[in-house]
Structure 1
Amino acid sequence: MTTLTDAPGTSAARETPARRRRRADRLPYLLLLPCLVVIGGLLLWPLGQVVWMSFHRLDNVRQVRGDRPWPFVGLDNYLQILGDPFFHTVLRNTVLFAVATVALTMVLGTLVGLLLNRLGRRMATFVGSCVMLAWATPALTGTIVWKWIFDDTSGLVTWLFNALPDGLSTALFGRSDWTGYGWFNSPLLFFAILTLVVVWHSFPFIAVSVLAGLKSVPSELQEAARVDGAGPWRVFWSVTFPLLRPVFAILVVLSTIWDFKVFTQQFVLAGGTQDRSTFMLSIYSYAEAFSPPPKYGLGAAIAVILTVILLVVTGFYVRMVLRQEES
């Protein structure tokens, strides 16, 4: 019995396999179109606006609102930023901070993930839930708590150092009274505390991601390595790590992006943008754009430079990982 859809002369019967194949190839793009429109409106359009602003001199709010024209300056903002010695100091601070925090976050998160994998189900659930509290805590709230911990009068750290015997404290640190000591006044101490805050907030995500990856590793391979006499470190480096290389690649890329863009923690700990010795690219862009007198074009140029650096770093790392996977 011949149906209407495949009867001779209908469009379905005249459709060639090539046309059906092309229509099937277009279907995924049509399904992704609404998502691409949303991404374009929420991400690409603001990014394009920032790039466009970086080629103009904007030093007035009325210009940004469109009440006044935007003087086009071409690459002058970029040349001014790249030729400023202070920019190179800020870039060095950003790179060193990102390298330290990414390394510490990955190491601590991996160790915690391995620990959770060795615990029983109930204990792993309890410990994992406690660890995830740090990840679930908003960055602003967590940073305010850490700033209180290092408060120079009533902070927990100040109280602990004051509780040390005077002789021991003087011998180790050269002072016995820590009340009023500015933990955030020294750039080195400031970056140490900032690193602690960022690592504390970031490592739970790494730990849970590593734990999820460990669940997919066949236990037979690890057991075979132990039977051959391999220790815990050798089992991890020779069996576990190669299998989880794609997971670690994604985590390193995400951590690099997050740590290069740290803003909230630094802004809260520093109390604003007064201490330029601790500037990194994110807060440098904010300070140039919004500190009086405002220079929105310069701030936008710094933001574009930061974006380009992140694209280059992540692209290079992903390409290196893909080459290792192919070899």
Structure 2
Amino acid sequence: MPVVESTTRRTGGSTPHRAPGRATRPRRRQTSGLPWLLSLPALLLLAGILGYPLVRMVELSFQNMRLRELISGRPAPWVGLDNYTKVLSDTDFWAVVWRTVAFTVVAVIFTVVVGLGIALLMRRVARGVRLFMIVAMMFVWAMPQLVAAQAFRWITDSDFGVVNYVIDKLPGVDYQNHSWFVNPWQGWSVITTLVVWAGIPFIAITLNAGLTQVPKELVEAATVDGASPWQTLRSITLPILKPLLIIVTTLSVIWDFGLFTQNWVLRDGHPEPQYQTLATYSYTQAFGQSRYSLGSAISVITVLLMLGVMAFYIRQMFKIGEVD
């Protein structure tokens, strides 16, 4: 009591009185319908652009749409789950799935690791050099996929490609008129290089921005304590970058899993079976063989396979939003 009275005299106020048994509750944030009202036009536009094609694709996967129905305009007969049964029992489909998954894993690992290395390098070079690197990578990032794939097709051309010309100049090596796509391992190395080259700018620039949030005091203290650069990276930098690394890795998985343009252009619009991915396989079945319902079923399965990755990405975004 004396402490309370003395504190009251110094502040010139009186001790607050609270009703017994009544606890203070935090005020709940009042939600209004204004944000939803402002978002309504965008939501309606997205529903029209994305929602209708998705619903139509699912509907088509339960039908037997052929070229005859497409030309005549007659409704396609319903076949239920027949298309899904054919796809899931097809060994070629599962070979395409495993090939797509393997490519995605390899491409994402190389993209994230090289992008992280470039981001770390950007923090150690001079400001002018860093600005030049950012501008150069922005040009790469802004290049359309079709243009980049066509450029790589010319570079690796068997007759006039600069890659064959340079390698052929090495002593004891004969790469004249060498075709990179006869061997699937060499062909996929070209495709993977193109995808990694195009994906590095986003990873490097994003992680470079994240590295600016790493406190310099922690790094300096670790250096004074005798920590090596690898120990500093593992114990300080990577834990701070972990949320951002998860985001960029998840986005890379989503983008690379839907590979279409690169292998389609490099194989001149006719990818061989060993170069088929889920996206090209679905397109080939639907428009190359006029099996539209079967292609729709493959697309629906592809979307279902990606739902887990997309849900994980959205969950991580909400986590970052809660922390902020």
- TM-score between the two structures when normalised by the length of structure 1: 0.84
- Counterpart of 1:311 in structure 2 is 307
1:118 to 105, 117, 124: 124
Gaps of 5+ in 2: 1-27
Distance in 2 between the 1:22 and 1:217 partners? 32
Q: Which moved more, 1:178-187 or 1:196-205?
A: 178-187
What is the CA distance between 1:65 and its match in structure 2? Answer: 6.9
- Counterpart of 1:173 in structure 2 is none
What is the CA distance between 1:63 and its match in structure 2? Answer: 3.1
- SS where residue 25 of structure 1 aligns? coil
Cα deviations across residues 45-66 of structure 1 (Å, max 9, x unaligned)?
A: 1111111111111111x63478
1:270 partnered with 2:270: no
Write the mapping of 1:1-327 to structure 2, written as runs, cut at 5 A.
Answer: 24-60=31-67, 63-64=69-70, 67-165=73-171, 168-169=172-173, 176=174, 178-292=175-289, 294-316=290-312
What is the CA distance between 1:185 and its match in structure 2? Answer: 1.7
What is the CA distance between 1:321 and its match in structure 2? Answer: 10
Amino acid in structure 1 at the alignment position of 2:117? L
Amino acid in structure 1 at the alignment position of 2:155? I
Distance in 2 between the 1:277 and 1:271 partners? 14
Is the 8 Å Cα contact of residues 247 and 316 (structure 2) preserved in structure 1? Answer: no
Cα deviations across residues 32-53 of structure 1 (Å, max 9, x unaligned)?
A: 2122111111111111111111
Cα deviations across residues 110-158 of structure 1 (Å, max 9, x unaligned)?
A: 1111111222221100111112221111111111111111111111111
Distance in 2 between the 1:99 and 1:232 partners? 27
Cα deviations across residues 50-97 of structure 1 (Å, max 9, x unaligned)?
A: 11111111111x634781111111111111001000011101100000
- Assess, with a 3 A threshold, how the Cα gap between structure 1 residues 22 and 100 changes in structure 2: closer, same or farther: closer
What is the CA distance between 1:320 and its match in structure 2? Answer: 8.7
Distance in 1 between the 2:72 and 2:32 partners? 43
- Assess, with a 3 A threshold, how the Cα gap between structure 1 residues 73 and 201 changes in structure 2: closer, same or farther: same
Distance in 2 between the 1:274 and 1:198 partners? 17
- Assess, with a 3 A threshold, how the Cα gap between structure 1 residues 246 and 97 changes in structure 2: closer, same or farther: same
What is the CA distance between 1:206 and its match in structure 2? Answer: 0.3
- SS where residue 227 of structure 2 aligns? coil
Cα deviations across residues 257-303 of structure 1 (Å, max 9, x unaligned)?
A: 000001000101111235112111000000000113x0111111111
Is the 8 Å Cα contact of residues 249 and 318 (structure 1) preserved in structure 2? Answer: no
- Counterpart of 1:8 in structure 2 is none
Gaps of 5+ in 1: 1-20, 170-175
Structure number with larger C-alpha Rg: 2
- SS where residue 117 of structure 2 aligns? helix
- Assess, with a 3 A threshold, how the Cα gap between structure 1 residues 264 and 220 changes in structure 2: closer, same or farther: same
Distance in 2 between the 1:237 and 1:187 partners? 36
Distance in 1 between the 2:139 and 2:52 partners? 34
Is the 8 Å Cα contact of residues 249 and 321 (structure 1) preserved in structure 2? Answer: no
Is the 8 Å Cα contact of residues 254 and 309 (structure 2) preserved in structure 1? Answer: no
Amino acid in structure 1 at the alignment position of 2:229? P
- Assess, with a 3 A threshold, how the Cα gap between structure 1 residues 219 and 274 changes in structure 2: closer, same or farther: closer
- SS where residue 33 of structure 2 aligns? helix
